[in-house]
Amino acid sequence: MKRFLSLALAIATLAIIFSLVACSYGPGAKYDAPAFPYPETKMIPVVNDYHGTEITDNYRWLEDASSEEVQAWTTAEEVFTHSITDPLPQRTWLESRFNALWRYDDESIPKPVLDGERLFYWTKKKEDEKWVYMTKENEAAEGTVVLNPNEWDDTETLGGVNPSRDGQYVAYGVAHGGDENPVVQIMVTATGELLPDTLRGWKQSVGSWMPNNEGFYYTCKPLEGEVPEGEHEYWHSAWYHKLGTDASADQLIFSDDEVKETWHGAWLTEDAEYTVYRRGLFNANELYFRKTGDTGEMIPISTGMENEYGVDIVEGKILITTNEDAPRKMVYITDVDRPERDNWKVFLPEHETDKLSHIAMINGHVYASYTHNTYSLVKIYDLDGTFVRDLPFPTIGTGGVGGRWSSEDIWVSFSSFTYPPTTFKYNFEADEMVVYHEFPVEISVEGVVADQVWYPSKDGTLISMFIVHRDDMKLDGTNPTLLYGYGGFNVSMRPNFSTSALTWLEAGGVYVVTNLRGGGEYGRQWHEAGMLGQKQNVFDDFIGAAEYLIEEGYTTPERLAINGGSNGGLLVGAVTVQRPELFKVVLCAVPLLDMVTYHQHGLANIWAEEYGSSDDPEQFEYLHAYSPYHNIKKGVKYPAFLVTGGENDARVDPLHARKMAAALQAADSGGGPIMLLINKSSGHGGGTTITTRISQQAEQKAFLMDQIGMEAPGK
C-alpha cells in the first residue's frame, strides 16, 4: 500500500513539474487562465436531493483524505502552488522580518500556586522553537525546568499544563501536529518522575486539583466504540480521577444523555469551598454548584439553555454575569445560601452603550471589563457595589486584568495598533500602572496611525472599521491594502498590536480590520444579526468595507487583498463568489466552504447553533444561497485565490479547501491563479514550531503582496 502511494505521488509530482517547464512565472507576472498548468482534476458527479432541490457535487471524491488518489492530487496542487510562491522575493524579506520580530528571549508573569509559595512560569530563548515550562520554590529561588518541548519531536506540543494547588504535581498533555488531542500525564514536579496514572477518553483536559492532591477534575470525549459510530467527536463530559487509581475507576460527574453537542466543565472556587458545574453550547449554558466533596444534588444557578451565564463565588456571595434580558450583559449578586433567581439583586446594570465582557475578582475588588466602540475600559468596584475608579490604561486599545481575590498582585496587559504589547503591575493604593514587561524587540511605530471610521452596510447599518496606515499616506487610490474580517461566534475584532500588520505597513501597505455583524463587539443583538438566517449581513458588511475603501480613495480593486481564517475563511470565500470584481487576491485560510454538508464532518455539527443545518428545510435554503462552494459560476474571472488547510485540523476538515480549489480552477476564466496548500503537521492554528509558522506566514503574505504589486522594502 505504501509503495503504491509513493509511486502515485511521484508520478503526479513529475507530471506537474513537466507541465510547468513550458511556463515561466516571475514576480508580479500576469497570468491567463489557459496558461495555468493546474493538475488534472476529474469530476465524479454525485447527486443529492435536499428537500426537493437536487444538488450535483462533482468533487465529493476529494473529501476522503485517506485516499491515495486524493493525496496524489493534493501533492500535485502543492507543487503548482510552490512553483509560484517559492521564487517570490517578498517571501525572503518576510521570512527575515518575521525571524527578527518573533525570535527573542522572553519570560512570562510568574504564577503562584494556590496553596504555598511555589511559582510556575514560561520562558523562551531566541533560538527556541517552543516555550519552556519552569518552576521555582519561591521568588528568591533559582528556576528549574519542568517541561521543555524543544527536546521533543518538532510536531509535539504541550496541550495544557495544570499544576496541583501546592505545586507538588503537574498534569500536562502532549498533542501532535496541531491535532488538539493531548494525552495527559502526571509528573512529580521535584523529580520529573511520571506516575502511571492514565485518564479516560480522548481530547483530555485537566481542570481543578483537590487541595490535598487526592485527585482532580478533567474533561474528555468518548473513544470510538463507546458511543454510536461517528459520534466520538461529541458527548463531551466531566470526570473525577483519584490519584494512583486506574482510569476505569474514574467517576463521571457531569454529562448529557440527550444533546450530544453540549460541553461540560467542573472547577473549584479559589478557596476550594465550592465546585461549579457548567453545561453549555456556544451561546447558552447552565450553571450549578455545591460544596466541594458533597455528593448530594447539585444546586442550580441557571437552567434552561436560553442565555449565557458566568459565575464567581467569593466570601459567601455569588456574582452572576449574564445577557439574560441584557444584550450588552449585566451582573447580579446573591448569597450562596439563596441562589434562587428570585433572590438575585442587580450588582451592575446593563450599560447604555458599552458591552460588559466579563468580571474578574482580584485583591478584594471586582474588575468589570467593558468594550466601548471595540476598545477596553475596566471599572473597579467594591464587593458591596460601590464604584471605586477606572483602571488607568495608557491610551485607547485592548487591555485585560488578571489576578486572584486573595492576592495583592494585579496584572494588566495592554496593546493597540500603535502600542506594542506591554504588561503592567497595577498598584491599587497609588492607582499607578508600573511597567513589568515590554515587547522584547525594538520596533518603531513612529508615524503609524489607526483611524476608526464608520460606513454604511447594504441595509444602512453603520459598521465600524480600523484603518492602520502611515501618517503620510495619500488618498489617491494607489495604496496596496489588506482587509481582514471575521464576523461570527460572538468573537470581537479589537485594536491589538500585530507584528504581521507592522510588516505590511513597512512594505508600504494599509492594514484594515472591520467589525462585522456576527461578532461580539456590540453585544448579543450584534451577534445575532450575523448568524443563522442573517448570515448574509456579514458578507454585505465586508463588501461595504471594500466599497468604502475604494470610494474614499484608499485603494482600488487591483490593489485590494482580503484575508480571513476559519469562519473568516467562509467570509472571504463567500464575498469572492458574490463580488469577484471587487478584489485582486484572496487568502482563504482553514475555511468552511461547503455549507450544505459541513455539519456531517468531524465535530462541525456543534456549529449548527451558529449557522443552521441543511437537515432543516428552511435553514437549507439560506445555507445553499450563500455557500461559497455551491455558488461558483463557470466562466467568471475570479481573483487570485490561495486556500489553505491544516493536515491535522481538529476543527475544520481540509476537504473544504480541496473542493473549493478544484471547483474554482474549473470555473475560472482569465483570473487566478487558484492555489491550494494543505500544511503538513499543522492544525487549525498552523505549524507547531516558530520556524514552520514563519515559513507558512511568509509564503501566504508574499503571494498577497506580489499580486497587488507590493515589492519588498529595499528592492
- Reported as a single tens digit per residue, the pLDDT across 460-494 is 999 999 999 999 999 999 999 999 999 999 999 99
May I ask the CATH class of domain 87-100+443-707?
alpha beta
Q: Are 408 and 356 in contact (CB under 8 A)?
A: no
Q: Per-residue pLDDT for 372 more than 90?
A: yes
Let me know if 695 is a catalytic residue.
Answer: no
Q: Amino acid letter at 40?
A: E
Give the model's pLDDT for residue 10. 40
**Residue 672's CB: how many other CB atoms inside 10 A?**
21
What's the average model confidence in pLDDT over 355-371?
98
One-letter amino acid for residue 248 of the chain: S
Give the model confidence (pLDDT) of 376-418 as tens digits.
Answer: 999 999 999 999 999 999 999 999 999 999 999 999 999 999 9
CA distance linking residue 49 with residue 617, whole number of Å: 11
Mean pLDDT check: name the lowest of 26-30, 218-222, 228-232: 26-30
Contacts of 272 (CB under 8 A, 6+ apart): 114, 165, 208, 210, 211, 292
| Choice among 176, 369, 684, 695 that is catalytic | 684
pLDDT tens digits for range 81-106? 999 999 999 999 999 999 999 999 99
- Dist. CA 636–CA 670, nearest whole Å: 8
Helix (H, G, I), strand (E, B) or coil at 102: helix
How far apart are alpha carbons 597 and 604 in whole angstroms? 10
Residue 615 has pLDDT above 90, yes or no: yes
Residue 690 scores a pLDDT above 60: yes
Single-letter amino acid code for the residue at 693 = R
The answer to whether 191 touches 198, Cβ cutoff 8 Å, is: no
496-533: buried (b, 16+ CB within 10 Å) or exposed (e) per residue? Answer: ebbbbbbbbbbbbbbbbbbbbbbbbbbbbebbebbbee
Q: Please report the pLDDT score of residue 21 as a whole number.
A: 31
pLDDT, tens digit, 9 for 90 and up, residues 548-586: 999 999 999 999 999 999 999 999 999 999 999 999 999
Active site residue 566: yes
Single out the residue of 306, 272, 307, 308 nearest to residue 289, CA to CA: 272
In percent, how much of the chain has pLDDT > 90? 94
The residue from 416, 566, 613, 627 that is catalytic is: 566
- Write down the pLDDT at residue 26: 33
Rounded distance between C-alpha atoms, residue 233 and residue 222, angstroms: 8
pLDDT of residue 715: 67
**Phi, psi values for residue 647, rounded to 5°:** -55, -35
pLDDT > 50? residue 18:
no
pLDDT tens-digit map of 136-161: 999 999 999 999 999 999 999 998 99
How much is the average pLDDT of 618-642?
98
Is 629 a residue whose pLDDT tops 70? yes
Question: What average pLDDT does range 253-260 have in this prediction?
Answer: 97
Task: Find the mean pLDDT for residues 189-209.
Answer: 97
Over the Cα atoms of the chain, what is R_g? 26
Q: What is the chain's mean pLDDT, rounded?
A: 94
**Distance in angstroms (rounded) separating the CA atoms of residues 580 and 320:** 46
Query: Beta strand pairing status for 169-176 and 156-163?
Result: antiparallel
pLDDT band at 714 (very low <50, low <70, confident <90, very high): confident
- Find the mean pLDDT for residues 182-187: 97
pLDDT confidence of residue 141: 95
pLDDT of residue 42: 97
pLDDT of residue 35: 58
Q: What is the dihedral of CA 568, 612, 57, 538, to 10 degrees?
A: -30
Domain assignments of the chain as residue spans, ordered by start? 87-100+443-707, 358-440
Q: Which three cell numbers stand for residue 148?
A: 521543555
Is the bond into 327 cis (omega within 30 degrees of 0)? no
CA distance 470 to 465: 16
Say if CB 185 and CB 172 are below 8 A apart. yes
pLDDT at 22 over 80: no
Which residues make beta-bridge pairs with 277? 266, 288
